[in-house]
Structure 1
């Protein structure tokens, strides 16, 4: 059965990074999702022209009926441009979802290795927030690649979790700072050495990032059947 479109109100907006804003949405109808899923958003112009994009949910599942989208403003992006420059609290948008099988639930256990590039970290954040709330004993490690510290989504939260949560670890790869480097075999080996053999790997980011990270995992001996991927294109 096709997922129906519905209206959702924007109830809060906050800056996450210079290019990413967090939008809290309240759908008109009941909305239950799993950590890692996404929604389709559709905008309709007065002349009837429509633009549609998919965005991952960044918040953990709860009973509020609300959820967060973390939307990066892309140059010439029709939908992301609306959210960056036009959208305001009180506006309504159309969405459908939740969609997707790129999900983690507490019953799946761990250890859990999450590998994200840029805004591809968003569904992984939902998984980490769900884990911290419902199963903090599950070992988890996030390997997160971004260009500079200012572009690290949820940076303060992730650093706090790394410092305070005994079963969570964070490995940041900053690619455009002095001494920075891209995710490579040595870095992946270090991650696996810290976490141990993962029961589940989730990789999300651009096509190039996901392909490279998946190859690194397989080359390091992680069975392909344990690796789940989500690609944002580009």
Structure 2
């Protein structure tokens, strides 16, 4: 069984990261590939803080989950959803290009960091980002069943990582519209969506909006998952 020792890494100093790639994930989200001056050790599920500094010295910063799998490289991916009125997310999505630099500090977070025990991730919308780090890590280790994933998206065009996310142990729930050939009819997440991928030895990682997390947590509890084995990370408006 794959395992890790010790706790998740703590944040280091601020670093100047170079943007080496920009990918349009959905109509309202982009993935930014950042190259740090030196390797950044992190656990899947952790996040970093991105800081912007205006010419007049004004600063704004926001936290964004890491989407890439842990590695020994100095490269990491952040997927950022543009929010209406979002100060930082708007600038990142509308102005940042390859070759630009961003101030980054991390990794941060211990509660939602995946310890490589068998787990099920349940993500809604942009809440899939830290869970994608976990899924990628399990696949990279050659143990895809170590981490299973149920992800909810409104429509096919709203699904993050659409060309990569599908595979064994992954279920996709569309709530508004489905692509041709999709077996499940559109509708909200149900207990059945979890029980078909859940067994008694798995922790559950839930990430999304407050309403989504509350509903998914109730479904996991109803499926018999003890409260202490459910970890939740709620995404609120952070701009």
The equivalent position to 2:127 in structure 1, one of 115, 120, 140, is: 120
Q: Equivalences for 1:91-110 in 2 at 5 Å?
A: 91-101=100-110, 102-106=112-116, 108=117, 110=118
SS at match of 1:16: strand
Given the superposition, is the C-alpha separation of residues 12 and 194 from structure 1 closer, same or farther in structure 2, using an over 3 Å criterion?
Answer: closer
Is the helix fraction higher in 1 or 2?
Answer: 1
- Name 2:148's counterpart in structure 1: 141
Matched, 1:171 2:174: no
Q: What runs of 5+ residues in structure 2 fail to find an aligned partner?
A: 1-9, 179-184
Q: 1:62 to 1:152 in 2, by over 3 A?
A: same
Aligned partner of 1:208 in structure 2 is 211
Q: State whether residues 19 and 99 of structure 2, in contact with CA within 8 Å, keep that contact through their aligned partners in structure 1.
A: yes
Contact 1:117–1:204 (8 Å) recurs in 2: yes
Could you tell me which runs of 5 or more consecutive residues in structure 1 were left unpaired when the two chains were aligned.
163-167
- The change in CA–CA distance for 1:145 and 1:26 in structure 2 (over 3 A counts) is same
CA deviation string 1:95-116 (max 9, x = no partner): 110001112233x2x1x21100
Q: 1:35 to 1:173 in 2, by over 3 A?
A: same
Distance 2:65 2:56 in 1: 28
For the residues of structure 2 that align with 1:215 and 1:11, how far apart are their CA atoms? 40
Partner of 1:49: 58
Are 1:158 and 2:165 matched, yes or no?
yes
Could you tell me how far apart the structure 1 residues matched to 2:193 and 2:66 are?
29
Report the counterpart of residue 63 of structure 1 in structure 2.
72
Task: Give the total of aligned pairs.
Answer: 221
Aligned equivalents of 1:20 and 1:139: distance in 2?
A: 28
> Is the Cα contact below 8 Å between 1:171 and 1:191 reproduced in 2?
no
Deviates further, 191-200 or 60-69: 191-200
Report how far residue 4 of structure 1 moved. Answer: 2.2
Pick the aligned partner of 1:181 from 175, 181, 187: 187
CA spacing shift, 1:220–1:89, aligned 2, 3 Å: same
Of residues 129-138 and 221-230 in structure 1, the stretch that sits farther from structure 2 once superposed is 129-138
Extract structure 1 runs of 4+ deviating beyond 4 A.
Answer: none
The residue that corresponds to 1:165 in the other structure is none
TM normalised by structure 1 equals 0.88
Q: Give the secondary structure class of the aligned counterpart of 1:128.
A: helix
| Residue 15 (structure 2) aligned to one of 6, 13, 28 | 6
